Amino acid sequence: MSSDPSREVDWDALRAEATAAMRRAYAPYSGFPVGAAALTTDGRLISGCNIENAAYGVTLCAECSLVSALVMGGGGRLAAFTCVNADGEVIAPCGRCRQLLWEHGGPDLLVETAWAGVVPMTQVLPGGFGPDDLVAVETSRKKLEQP
């Protein structure tokens, strides 16, 4: 990749895919359809939409359905991500979804934001917690158990 990886991503196409996904959203309770799209590190384009439920707590965000598509499509890593509202405007992923994006894209995942353009995941979720942190916790635990 070049020194500015965001230049290699067709953000217009990514937003168009997110907008198409948003049109498939099931949002009868909030009236707030959301679509998400991402480019994987191996070049696949995946998308997702929010799927609400009368039991609000089990509603799936667009990012959840996108990550499900990633895993069901063979896995991999997210390289670039965007999500949009009903007007096709870029919106921020919620806190829960920021953690999902970190898990499947890591600190270098490029995220399109409304407030700062394209930024790495480290600016969307500063101090993110991921699999490497679990290894560090296990290592610390083993040190404490030693006589």
Q: Would you list which residues are annotated within the binding site?
A: 50-56, 61, 94, 97
Backbone angles phi, psi at 107, to 5 degrees: -65, -25
Burial of 56: CB neighbours in 10 Å, binned 0-12, 13-18, 19+: exposed
8 Å CB contact between 4 and 80: no
Beta bridge partners of 48: 36
Which segments are annotated as binding site for Zn(2+)? 61, 94, 97
Strands (E), 8-109: 35-40, 45-49, 78-84
Q: Under the phi-then-psi rule, with left for phi > 0, alpha for psi from -120 to 50, and beta for the rest, what region is 31?
A: left
Residue with tokens 């870029």: 90
Which segments are annotated as binding site for substrate? 50-56
Is-catalytic flag, 103?
no
Report residue 108 as tokens. 């270098």
Instruction: Give the active site residue among 63, 89, 112, 145.
Output: 63
Active-site residues: which are they? 63
